[in-house]
Structure 1
Amino acid sequence: MDAPLLRFEGVRKSAAGLQDVSFDLARGETLALLAPAGAGKSMLLRLLAGTERPDAGRMLLAGRDLAPLAAPRRGLSAFEPGMPPRRTLQEAVGQPLPGFDIAARDRPARIARALTALGLDGLEGRRADQLGPLPQLRAAFARALAPEQPILLLDDPFAGLDPAPRRALAFELRRLFRARGLTVLLATREGEEAMALADRIAVLEEGSIAQCAAPRALYEEPATAFIAGLLGENNRLPGTVEWREESECGIRLDCGPLVEARVADAGGPGSRCIVAIRPDRVAVAALPAEEMGEGALPAALRDTVFLGDHVRLLLELGEGGMLVARRPPGSRMPVPGGPASVAWDPYAAFAYRALR
């Protein structure tokens, strides 16, 4: 296996709550650091860029310790959303290049490659501050690409962008990163954005990397309830563990029913836990539970919401337990006051320790 291009080894920065951060970034890979605001992910990028210094630990680029190197000598290019005023697009995109010791004769080609990559060729003579918000954002990405450094750093790059253009630009950048073989380290609080852009996602929890995996693996098998909540919607049903056998357990939900789930980080019998199940993994039938089959639970439909590509069903389970399910439009569904039942594969449900 090839050595990683970038390696964090036990990096600590107490002021940002970072206790022991270790991860690798392979050449040509996009890795997302995923965490809520204030968790320290932006600090990790600043430590890497050299604008902050760690309390302990090492950061290695191609096996070389970055600590002795000044920020411009680290082989990193960082995305910055603001564009310099009163500059043409060509001038704005080329502004960082002298700081990377790129010879003057090589700068026009790098600027042209970056502008073309972001669909801005032909606009070189336009003033950057006269462009609309989305072209300005594209120009900022071109500015970050132009130095052509080993690693590109992105810190919440789509902040303030509406959902539809945000999603479209994320997919466009994903194709660009892969086509050009770029190595990218992304810091984001958005789970969907991390899944759209990254080959792997590293989740920061309580000052260290709690889990690092490919998006699908992380989505389908989150190690903690915190991680499950960052990546898509989850039903969270509180209860108490009644029995546990290796990787499976039985939980008496507070709302009444006894259900089975895979053990994530839940404790033994008697411990409080949360059963997490994604809405798309909940089967719903307009039948009594005994007719739906083994493992089915009686439910009552309380509300439905049409959302275009799916319908959200809000169902009551037992005494006051609320459960969300998702169904395609046109599916046969229960009606308020009519028979209803729900079921799920125990392998798709996870038992987590109750959050404090």
Structure 2
Amino acid sequence: MDAPLLRLNGIMRRAAGLEEISLNLARGETLALLAPPGSGKTALLRLVAGIDRPDAGQLLLDGRDLVPLAPSQRPLTLFDPVMPANRTVQEAIAQLLPGYGIPARDRPARIARALTALGLDGFEGRRIAGLGPLPRLRAAFARALAPEQPLLLLDDPLAGLDPAARRAFAFELRRLARRLGLTLLLATREGEEAMALADRIAVLDGGRIAQCDRPRALYEEPATALIAGLLGENNRLPGTVAWREEAECGIRLDCGPLVEARIADAGGPGSRCIVAIRPDRVAVAALPAEEMGEGALPAALRDSVFLGDHVRLLMELGEGGMLVARRPPGARLPVPGGPASVAWDPYAAFAYRALR
């Protein structure tokens, strides 16, 4: 197996709350640092870029120790969305190349390759001030690609776009990274964006890596309630652990029913916990619970919203327990006041310790 391009060993930065961060990034891989605001993901990028220095630990890029090197000496690019408004696209890209030691004779070819990669052929003479948000972002990415460094650092790079454009450009950036063999270290607070872009996702919590794995593995088996919440919508039903056996436990929900779930980080009997189940894993039937089958719970439909590719149902369990389910539009669904029940595979539900 090839050695990692980037290796972080026991990185600490006390001012940013980072403790013992160890990560490897393979050549040609995209790794997303996912966390809520203020969790240290930007601070970690700054350490790799050389803007700040770690209190302890190793930063190795292609086997070379980065810590003694100034930012300008590091073979990487930190993406900057801010472009000089009074420059043309070509001038803005060319402006940074001398700092990377790129000979003048090679600069036009690098600029041309970057513009073509971002679909900006013909934009060379356009002024940055005259570009819309998306072309300006493309120009900023072209400027980041033109130095052709081994590693590209991205800190919430799509923040300026509206949700639809942000989603579309994330998939475009994914294809671009794979086509060009780019190595990306990305910091984001958006779980969907991390899943769209990254080969692996490292979730930061409390200054440490809480879990690092491929997007599907994190989505299907999140280790903590924070991770489950960052990677998609979850129902969160509070309760108390009633029994625990190996990998499973029973939880008496505050709203009344006793349910089963897989143990994530929940404690033993008597401890408070949260049962998390994704809306698309909740089955809904327009039947009494005894007719739906084993494990079904009586429920009542409180609201339904048609959203095109699915119907969003708000179901009440027991005394005031609210559960969201997502079902296909053509499914037979309960009606207000009619019989209704819900069920889910206990293997798809997780019991997490209750967050204070």
Q: In 2, Cα distance between the equivalents of 1:334 and 1:92?
A: 59
State the Cα distance separating 1:181 from its structure 2 match.
0.6
Find the aligned partners of 1:309 and 1:157 in 2 and give their Cα distance.
29
Matched with 1:290 is 290
Verify: 1:40 aligned to 2:48, yes or no: no
Aligned length: 356
For residues 9-61 of structure 1, the C-alpha deviation after alignment (integer angstroms, 9 at most, x for no partner) is 11111111112211110100000000111111111111101011111111111
Q: Secondary structure at the match of 2:81?
A: coil
- The match for 1:281 is 281
Counterpart CA distance in 2 for 1:178 and 1:134 is 21
User: 1:67-117: per-residue Cα shift (whole Å, max 9, x none)?
Assistant: 111111111111111111221111111211100000111100100000000
Q: Which amino acid aligns with 2:122?
A: G
CA distance in 2: counterparts of 1:272 and 1:128, whole angstroms: 55
User: 2:68 matched to 1:68?
Assistant: yes
| Contact 2:144 2:152 (8 Å CA) reproduced | yes
Q: Aligned equivalents of 1:121 and 1:78: distance in 2?
A: 23
1:225 aligns to what? Answer: 225
- The 2-side partners of 1:81 and 1:308 are apart by 35
* Residue aligning to 1:211: 211
Q: How does 1:160-171 map to 2 (within 5 A)?
A: 160-171=160-171
Q: Secondary structure at the match of 1:148?
A: coil
Bigger CA drift: 67-76 or 113-122?
Answer: 67-76
- State the match for 1:28 in structure 2: 28
Question: Where does structure 1 differ by over 4 angstroms across 4 or more consecutive aligned residues?
Answer: none
Is residue 2:131 matched to residue 1:131? yes
Query: Counterpart of 2:307?
Result: 307
Partner of 1:122: 122
Aligned-residue CA RMSD (Å):
0.8
Gaps of 5+ in 1: none
**Residue number in structure 1 paired with 2:59:** 59
8 Å Cα contact 2:46-2:52 kept in structure 1: yes
Deviations 1:106-148 (A, max 9, x none): 1001000000000001111111221111100100010000000
Query: What letter matches 2:166 in structure 1?
Result: R
Alpha carbons 2:133, 2:160 under 8 Å: kept: no
Answer yes or no: is 1:78 the counterpart of 2:64: no
What TM-score comes out, normalization by structure 1 length?
0.99
Task: Compute the displacement of 1:330 (Å).
Answer: 2.2
- The alignment status of 1:253 with 2:290, answered yes or no, reads no
Q: Percent identity?
A: 82
SS in 2 for 1:315: strand
Unaligned runs of 5+ in 2: none
User: Aligned residue for 1:100?
Assistant: 100
Structure 2 SS opposite 1:51: coil
AA of the residue aligned to 1:69: L
The normalised TM-score by structure 2 is 0.99
Aligned partner letter, 2:105: R
Q: Check if 1:199 corresponds to 2:199.
A: yes
Q: Secondary structure at the match of 1:265?
A: coil
Query: Structure 2: how far apart are the matches of 1:224 and 1:160?
Result: 30
Offset of 1:276 from its aligned partner? Answer: 0.3
